[in-house]
Amino acid sequence: MTNIYHEKESRVFVAGHSGMVGKALVRELKNRGYTNILTATRDKLDLINQKQVLEFFKELKPDQVYLAAAKVGGIMANNTYPADFIYQNLMIQTNVIEGSFQAGAKKLLFLGSSCIYPKFAEQPINENLLLSGYLEQTNEPYAIAKIAGIKLCESYNRQYSDKFGVDFRSVMPTNLYGPGDNYHPKNSHVIPALIQRFHKAKVDKKSQIEIWGTGNVRREFLHVDDMARACIHVMNIDQESFKKNTEAMCSHINVGFGKDISIRELAEVIKEVVQYKGKLVFLDSMPEGTPRKLLDSSLIKKMGWEPEIPLFEGLKETYLNYQETYF
C-alpha cells in the first residue's frame, strides 16, 4: 500500500474549509507545502445531503480527509436549536465518513469537542472518561452527535482496517478561538461574544456590561492555529505509533492548552485587550454550563505536539482580526 502519511502531493479534502478551524487547516497545510488541497463551498456541496456527498467523494477520491465541518454555537444557540444541532451534525459526519470510505480514502481526521465528557468529570479530563457519566444538558444533543462521530471512526477502523487499510482518527479540541471566528450576536461562543460586546460598549461609551453566570466557571482556550498544527500532527503519526498509544475503542485524542481560566478572569483580560473602561456585571441567575472543563492533553504531548500561542497574545491578534474584518 502506498504510504500517504507524509506525501504532500496527496489529495487532501478539508470539509468545512470556510469555518474558523477549516480556514486554519488550509493555511497550515499550505504553509507546510501541501499542493493538492481540495475544498467545496456549501452551494456546491450540501454535507447534509447523503446523495450529494457520496457522489462528490466518488468523483473527488481524496487520499486524506479533515472533517472540520459542523454546526456549532454557544449556550443560547444550543438551547434554542437542539434538534438542528443533533440532526445536522449526525448527518454531516455520517455522510463524510461513509463517503470517505466508499471513495477509498485511507486517512480521515474527525474533529469533535470537549463537551463529549460528563458534566462533573474528574479534572483534568482524560480520554478514558468518555461515557462515564451524565452530559451537560445545555449542549447534550451536540455532544451526543460528536460522540457518535468518534464511535463511527472507531467502528470503521475495527471493521475495515485490516481488509481495506482504513485509518480514521478523532481529536477532541478544547474551546477554540482566533481569526475567522463566528461573531453572531446570539449564536457565538464566549470569546467572540465578549470581544464583540466589549468593542460595541467601548464605541457606545456604555458604563457597564452584563455577562451571563457567576463568572466562576472555568474554561480552557486554545488558539485555532495551534489546533490546526495539532490536527496535521495527529494525521501524520505513523499507524504503528498511533495504535501503540491508543485503544481500539478509546482512540480519540484530547487537544488542549493545558491551563484553564475563569470566565471572570477571561472577561477582565478581554476588557484589557479591547481597552474598555466600564464595569462588569455578572448575572448569576443565568445558565453558565459545566463548572470546569480542563482537558488532560498529556497523550498528544507525549506524541510530540505542544501549543505555541499564549492566551493574551492570541486574544490581541483575534481582536485585531475582528477590527480588520468588520470595520
Question: Kind of pairing, strands 218-223 and 260-262?
Answer: antiparallel
Q: Please, are residues 195 and 183 in contact by the beta-carbon 8 Å criterion?
A: yes
Distance (Å, rounded) from C-alpha 14 to C-alpha 109?
A: 10
- pTM as predicted: 0.93
Is the confidence at residue 171, as pLDDT, over 90?
yes
Angle between helix 311-326 and helix 190-204 axes, rounded to 10 deg: 60
Distance (Å, rounded) from C-alpha 297 to C-alpha 257?
A: 8
Amino acid at 289: G
Is the confidence at residue 5, as pLDDT, over 50?
no
Distance (Å, rounded) from C-alpha 187 to C-alpha 195?
A: 14
pLDDT in tens, 87-142: 999 999 999 999 999 999 999 999 999 999 999 999 999 999 999 999 988 889 99
Confidence of residue 235 (pLDDT cuts 50, 70, 90): very high
Question: In the chain, what are the helix, strand and coil shares in percent, each to the nearest 5?
Answer: 45, 15, 40
User: What is the predicted pLDDT for the residue at 6?
Assistant: 54
Select which of 142, 156, 177, 322 is catalytic.
Answer: 142
CA-based radius of gyration for the chain: 20
The CATH number of the domain covering residues in 12-180+221-256+295-309: 3.40.50.720
Confidence of residue 1 (pLDDT cuts 50, 70, 90): very low
pLDDT in tens, 66-79: 999 999 877 777 88
Distance (Å, rounded) from C-alpha 256 to C-alpha 61?
A: 32
Average pLDDT in the chain: 94
Q: Which three cell numbers stand for residue 286?
A: 443565568
Confidence of residue 16 (pLDDT cuts 50, 70, 90): very high
Catalytic-residue membership of 156: no
DSSP H or E run through 150: helix 140-164
Share of the chain above pLDDT 70, in %: 98
Q: Which three cell numbers stand for residue 34?
A: 501541501
Amino acid at 199: H
Is the confidence at residue 2, as pLDDT, over 50?
no
Is the confidence at residue 237, as pLDDT, over 90?
yes
Is the confidence at residue 298, as pLDDT, over 60?
yes
